[in-house]
Structure 1
Amino acid sequence: MKDKMTWEETIKFIRTLPEFKGLVEKAYFEEDLPLNVERFKKSEEFTETLQLLKQYQPDAKFLLDIGSGNGISAIALALEGYNVVTIEPDSSDTVGAGAIRKLKEHYNLSNLEIHEAFAEELQLPNNNFDIVYARQCLHHAYDLNKFVAEASRVTKKRGLFITIRDHVIFNEKDKEWFLATHPLQKFYGGENAFTPTEYKNAMVNARLQIIKELKYYDSVINYFPAPKQGIENQLKNRKEKVIEKLRKKIGIFSTITLVQKIVFKVVGVSKESVYDESKIPGRMYSYLCFKK
């Protein structure tokens, strides 16, 4: 095996290793391309993403999907009725534009257009899309500011730029930890991450108004494939333990009284107090922006 593989070689290789079976399935890297699409369409991540698209851009028709990889997002969005243009620099049939073309034919889609290009070099008209969507690709930008500037340029005024599941680091030591623990970095060496400040500065510089920053535990979009119900149940259990502790301390109350509720509200139990995202290497964030 040579020192570093291509991304396509990496995915083909890990498919042969039993220890990567779960990752291949959860990351939609299986050889059966339509199966990946069908599973992605039913995922909690995609369901919640669609809710955000409908909430913030309910009348959208034209959508740009940047960095589509093997096509799961581009196909799923086209099947939802959007007129989709997809940008993917990799030409391969495994994890690139070739795979998207196969899926386009499989689903007989007329509302999907495929371009092979880098996000920093879009050959597309200004103010052209209601939504520009980028899933798990902004952290791979070779020029973060140019990537976001190009995305902004092709977004219509008051259109939506949405980035999904981008790796976040807080400092260089945190980045080193993330890269050292990423399961595929040793094979292809292409992982990367930026700080929240770097992401947000690039957006502001591109005349984008940030309307929502979803941190790791703010949305199933980011912590998927961990189930939403599982995270919410842990939070609920933690709240119940705090309430019970307060009830015992107050003593004379056998039920949750107004006094306890007031005390509980002051003490507070948030996701941040239950979960520590600093323990997650390369935790993922998502951002929603309007173009000014």
Structure 2
Amino acid sequence: MQVEQNRCLTWEEAVQYLLSNPEQQELVKACYYDAPLVDAANRYWCSEEWHAINELLPTTVGSALDIGAGNGIASYALAKEGWQVHSLEPDPSNLVGVGAIYHLAKTAELPIQVTQEFGETLPFPDQSFELVFARQVLHHAQDLQELCKEINRVLKPGGKFIAVRDHVISSKEDLPRFLESHPLHHLYGGENAFLSTEYINALQQAGLRIDHVLKSFDSKINYAPLTPANMQAKFGQRLRPLPGSKSLAYLIFNSITFPILLRLLSTFDNRPGRLYSFICSKPL
């Protein structure tokens, strides 16, 4: 598949291009676009990212809404955990949208309900869900404030809203740099990022309480598919030329010091498009 110059593809066409490009297969797998979809979804469910997310979910399962569900990997993971899942996705695609979720649910024999709609106009009654989940969704909002209001509206009092892996910029001037560096934006033109304060203000103004903001290196959720072992290996390579690198590595790469190092990195990380996650709840 050739990409015409100066033409934006659809999201489905962009993913098809990645799938057809042998040099992009590592990215394809990291994004869980590889086939068969049920195997990719199961790999996501078994991933360190999902294990970290699962620790943040309510202890009692109930009704969950997966907003911007894409090909359904998070809906699959929620259903495997026992949640009654309703997937919301505006794209009808059989590869990366509603069609893919239907196929995944049927193949995995999971009772996932699917609705084709945008998050700014949720077709559900007030207080319908104990959990609303959004993976890489808020930064795609057409109207961030309205999306957050709708999420709060359909969430039950005491329920949780978990938004993971959203792109953050430090200033509006950083947005072009982020878009230029993004591996897919030049294909379909659909990426975006907000200031962390914009996310926080939209969530709070909607009536949600922000319980935790996880910055770029605060959690495996944000730096996946890298693992702590991968991170240590990368840091170790940089330390190797330094005198006493083995002793330094021993001091840094232990269960006490390394998490502190990662949190320090989060504090000073100003990369345009770095990933944050927001853990929220609806007051009783």
Q: What TM-score, normalized by structure 1, do the two folds share?
A: 0.85
CA contact (8 A) 1:69 1:97 kept: yes
Q: Paired residue for 1:157?
A: 157
Query: Which residue of structure 2 aligns with residue 102 of structure 1?
Result: 103
Match of 1:27 among 28, 31, 37: 31
Supply the distance in 1 between the matched residues of 2:225 and 2:249 (Cα, whole angstroms). 28
Q: How far is the alpha carbon of 1:219 from its aligned partner?
A: 0.2
Could you tell me which amino acid in structure 2 is paired with residue 5 of structure 1?
L
> What are the superposed Cα offsets for residues 131-168 of structure 1, whole Å, 9 maximum, x if unpaired?
10000011000000001110110000011011010001
Question: 1:277 maps to which residue?
Answer: 269
CA contact (8 A) 1:93 1:99 kept: yes
Residue 262 (structure 1) aligns with: none
**Could you say which residue in structure 2 is the equivalent of 1:78?**
79
Q: How far did residue 198 of structure 1 move?
A: 0.2
Aligned to 2:130: 130
Q: 1:14 — aligned with what?
A: 18
**TM-score with structure 2 length normalisation?**
0.87
**Which string of whole-angstrom CA distances, capped at 9 and with x for unpartnered residues, describes residues 82-110 of structure 1?**
00011000001000000000011101123
Aligned equivalents of 1:83 and 1:149: distance in 2? 22
What's 2:91 paired with? 90
Give the drift of 1:232.
Answer: 6.1
1:236-275 equivalences in 2 (<5 Å): 241=248, 270-274=261-265
The structural deviation recorded for 1:36 is 1.1
Structure 2 partner of 1:254: none
* 1:139/1:23 CA distance change after superposition, 3 Å: same
1:30, distance to aligned residue in structure 2 (A): 1.3
Alpha-carbon distance between aligned partners in 2 of 1:45 and 1:243, rounded to the nearest angstrom:
26
Percent of aligned pairs sharing the same letter: 40
Taking a change above 3 Å as real, the CA distance of residues 21 and 82 of structure 1, as seen in their structure-2 partners, is same
Structure showing greater Rg: 1
Deviation at 1:45, TM superposition (A): 0.3
1:258 corresponds to which residue? none
Pick from 277, 286, 289: which aligns with 2:280? 289
Residue 274 (structure 1) shift: 4.7
* 1:161-180 mapped onto 2 (5 Å cutoff): 161-180=161-180
Q: Is the 8 A contact 2:217 2:265 kept in 1?
A: no
Determine helix, strand or coil for the equivalent of 2:55.
helix
What is the CA–CA distance in structure 1 between the aligned matches of 2:158 and 2:235, rounded to whole Å? Answer: 36
TM-superposed deviation, 1:235 = 8.2
Change (3 A) 1:234 1:8: closer
| C-alpha distance in structure 2 between counterparts of 1:243 and 1:85, whole Å | 47
Residue type matched to 2:163 in 1?
T
Structure 1 unaligned spans of 5+: 245-264
Q: CA deviation at 1:242?
A: 10
**2:61–2:82 contact (8 Å) kept in structure 1:** no
Q: 1:274 to 1:145 in 2, by over 3 A?
A: closer
Work out the CA distance in 2 between the residues paired with 1:271 and 1:11.
Answer: 32
Which stretches in structure 2 are left out of the alignment for 5+ residues? 240-244, 252-256
Contact 2:45 2:76 in 1 (8 A): no
- Give yes or no for contact 1:235–1:274 (8 Å, CA) kept in 2: no
User: Residues 31 and 94 of structure 1 are in contact (CA less than 8 Å); yes or no, is this contact kept in structure 2?
Assistant: no
Counterpart contact for 1:235–1:271, Cα < 8 Å: no
CA distance in 2, matches of 1:140, 1:223: 19
TM-superposition CA deviations, 1:2-39 (whole Å, max 9, x none)? 41100000000111112211100111011321121111
Does the Cα contact within 8 Å between 1:44 and 1:228 map onto a contact in 2? no
Deviations 1:56-93 (A, max 9, x none): x2113111100110111111211211000110000010
Count of residue pairs brought into register by the alignment: 266
Offset, 1:233: 7.4
> Which residue does the alignment assign to 1:185?
185
